[in-house]
Amino acid sequence: MPATPASSADPAPRQGAAPGRRLRVLAAMSGGVDSAVAAARAVEAGHEVTGVHLALSANPKSFRTGARGCCTLEDSRDARRAADKLGIPFYVWDLAERFREDVVEDFVAEYEAGRTPNPCLRCNEKIKFAALLDKALALGFDAVCTGHYATVVERADGSRELHRASDAAKDQSYVLGVLDDRQLAHAMFPLGDTPATKDEVRAEAEERGLAVARKPDSHDICFIADGDTQGFLAGRLGRAEGDIVDESGEKLGTHEGAYGFTIGQRKGLRLGRPAPDGKPRYVLDISPVDNTVTVGPAEALDVVALTAVRPRWCGAAPQGPGAYTAQLRAHGGETPVTAECAGEELRVRFAEPVRGVAPGQAIVLYDGTRVVGSATIAGTERTASPPVSA
């Protein structure tokens, strides 16, 4: 069962404060140090803050335990203790069913289709800034506050832009690239304009008397208890033996489920013989239709262009082709691109070939530090092979 809320009733609705005045803020508190300090800063700024922990599993013990998760009973208790220290009301909201449908089942379905999803983006889009935000607004809150490292900039006309955090090493704007105008209008990221290191944020938490000051960060996927993604998928999808082949179609080995591979993967292929040139092989393609995984040399991964679908814009959609930089993974660097939106499709061409690009991943476009928007990669064009799509 989800953790018991501090009170069985939700906070009473109230009209939000006018812009520039004291706001009613709902602080999403994961039980970690970042969200606790973010809530503390919102309190210190003079806002009326209420803490909420999201119960995202009908059986929290099935999620990570100790320091590695953000969805356990232990995390709920840590969040409650932080809220008590800050002197703010605290609730636990059960969003387990919504999380299962929108994040976990989506994750499994994407892998089953041969794609590589990012569940953190989906959680931000569907849970923290959709289900949670919708409920917050219905209850009269003005903003949802989280511990993400990103910055919201308000323009003279009142519109808002999402920018990278002031500290590039901690920037999390990539996983927030799914937020639209309406969501940005009610988003608050108190840590985003902090040039402090993570150690300094921990020191601030300690100075504030927050017990989570030395709690290690969470890592990996919160709903996979042991960190074994392939085992998790096998339990959901069943084992399905198939072939591992080279670019010519010659069989090199077998696997127990194509869903257990990602494009660009090198380790875990368990091939019985080396490549003729002795160089490592990488996953080049995943075909769920015939359950086949194709491997080949690293240079065959070079991608020169891609097509992405379901674009979401942090502001107005760009008009015509434009020059941007693109980020392809949460901890990846930027690369120069030209991009053009054609209806519900985004076409991107790289200034130089890039590797490790897989259907299902998100591409996030930037104009300087400003997040322009994001889309889900549907297909790629490579230098050494026909286009790849899922």
Tell me the per-residue pLDDT of 286-316, one tens digit each, with 9 for 90 and over.
999 899 999 999 999 999 999 999 999 998 8
- Domain pair 24-214 / 302-389, same fold: no
CB-CB contact of 367 with 296 (8 Å): no
The yes-or-no answer on residue 70 being catalytic is no
Q: If you search the block for the tokens 């069989």, which residue do you land on?
A: 251
The yes-or-no answer on residue 123 being catalytic is yes
Question: Which residues, in sequence order, are CB contacts of 378 under 8 Å at separation 6+?
Answer: 306, 307, 308, 309, 345, 359, 389, 390
What is the spatial distance between Cα 200 and Cα 149, in angstroms, rounded to a whole number? 14
Helix segments in the chain, DSSP class H: 33-44, 73-86, 96-99, 105-112, 119-123, 132-138, 181-184, 198-207, 229-237
Amino acid identity of residue 64, one-letter, is: R
- DSSP per residue, 248-296: T--EEEEES-GGG--TT--TT---SS--TT----EEEEEETTTTEEEEE
Task: State the pLDDT at residue 16.
Answer: 31
Assigned token pair, 76: 């709920």
Read off the pLDDT of each residue in 15-33 and give the average, rounded to a whole number: 76
Query: Residue 223: is its pLDDT beyond 50?
Result: yes
Q: What percentage of the chain has pLDDT greater than the value 70?
A: 88
Assigned token pair, 359: 């259907």
* DSSP-derived secondary structure letter, 122: H
Among 69-73, 74-78, 269-273, 321-325, the range scoring the smallest mean pLDDT is 69-73
Confidence grade of residue 57 (pLDDT, cut at 50, 70, 90): confident
Say whether 240 sits in a helix, a strand or coil.
coil
Query: Residue 62: is its pLDDT beyond 50?
Result: no
Neighbours of 180 (CB within 10 A): 15
Catalytic residue among 70, 71, 123, 341: 123
Cα dist from 327 to 173, 174, 221, 244, 277, whole Å: 10, 7, 20, 30, 32
What is the spatial distance between Cα 79 and Cα 333, in angstroms, rounded to a whole number? 32
Neighbours of 227 (CB within 10 A): 12
Q: What percentage of the chain has pLDDT greater than the value 90?
A: 68
Catalytic residue among 70, 71, 145, 222: 222
CB-CB contact of 253 with 279 (8 Å): no
Task: State the pLDDT at residue 317.
Answer: 87
Its CATH architecture, for the domain 239-299, is: Roll (2.30)
CB-CB contact of 359 with 378 (8 Å): yes
Beta-bridge partners for 373: 313, 365
Task: State the pLDDT at residue 25.
Answer: 98
Angle (nearest 5°) at CA 361 between 355 and 366: 80
What is the spatial distance between Cα 346 and Cα 339, in angstroms, rounded to a whole number? 7
Query: Residue 65: is its pLDDT beyond 80?
Result: no
CATH class for domain 24-214? alpha beta
Indicate if the alpha-carbon torsion angle 158, 162, 168, 169 is positive or negative.
positive
Say whether 145 sits in a helix, a strand or coil.
strand
Amino acid identity of residue 295, one-letter, is: V
Assigned token pair, 46: 């003079």
Confidence grade of residue 21 (pLDDT, cut at 50, 70, 90): confident
> Which CATH number does 302-389 carry?
2.40.30.10
Amino acid identity of residue 27, one-letter, is: A
Angle (nearest 5°) at CA 57 between 144 and 108: 100
Say whether 301 sits in a helix, a strand or coil.
helix
For residue 358, give the H/E element and its range.
Answer: none
Q: Domain residue spans in the chain?
A: 24-214, 239-299, 302-389
Task: State the pLDDT at residue 390.
Answer: 55
Task: State the pLDDT at residue 276.
Answer: 84
Neighbours of 368 (CB within 10 A): 9
Read off the pLDDT of each residue in 15-30 and give the average, rounded to a whole number: 73
Task: State the pLDDT at residue 18.
Answer: 37
Query: Residue 135: is its pLDDT beyond 50?
Result: yes
* DSSP-derived secondary structure letter, 142: S
Query: Residue 91: is its pLDDT beyond 50?
Result: yes
Average pLDDT value over all residues in the chain: 87
Instruction: Give which of 10, 28, 14 is closest to 123, Cα–Cα.
Output: 28
